[in-house]
Amino acid sequence: MGWLDVFRSEKKGSAQHAKERLQLVVAHRRSGHDDQPAYFPQLQQDLLAVLRKYVQVGDDAVQMEIEREGDLEVLELNITLPDSKH
């Protein structure tokens, strides 16, 4: 380290921050979550609300996937019910 380094700023550059943020958004897109229709999150919330009229379920009880094959789109719903007590 040169003696003049004392005058240099020790602050980490903003580029590092940019890189970390970009790595997150890019990973998110590449995982396929960006491909969902815009109404997906709301639909998921609505389904949860309906379910909760009848059973107590957690936030992750409704899993949804869109499968695309050619022109065909299939919405796959997977609802996990809590263990029922007899």
Partner 1 sequence: MAKIIVVTSGKGGVGKTTTAASFATGLAMRGNKTIVIDFDVGLRNLDLIMGCERRVVFDFINVIQGEANLKQAMIRDKRVENLYILAASQTRDKDALALEGVERTLNKLAEDFDYIVCDSPAGIETGAIMAMYFADEALVVTNPEVSSVRDSDRVLGMLSSKTKRAKEGADPVKEHLVVTRYAANRVGKGEMLSLSDINDILGIPLLGVIPESETVLNASNSGMPVALENNADAGHAYLDMVARFLGENRPMRFTEAKKGFLDRLMGR
Virtual CA dihedral for 58, 59, 61, 66, nearest 10 degrees? 180
Contact between 26 and partner 1 by CB under 8 A: the answer reads: yes
Cα three-residue angle 60-61-67, rounded to 5 degrees = 85
Nearer Cβ to partner 1 (19/52): 19
Residues of this chain, 27-66, that bind partner 1 according to CB under 8 A: 29-30, 34
Contact between 16 and partner 1 by CB under 8 A: the answer reads: yes
Please name which of 58, 57, 79, 75 lies closest in space to residue 66, comparing C-alpha atoms: 75
Q: Which residues bind partner 1 (CB under 8 A)?
A: 2, 4, 12-16, 18-19, 21-23, 25-26, 29-30, 34
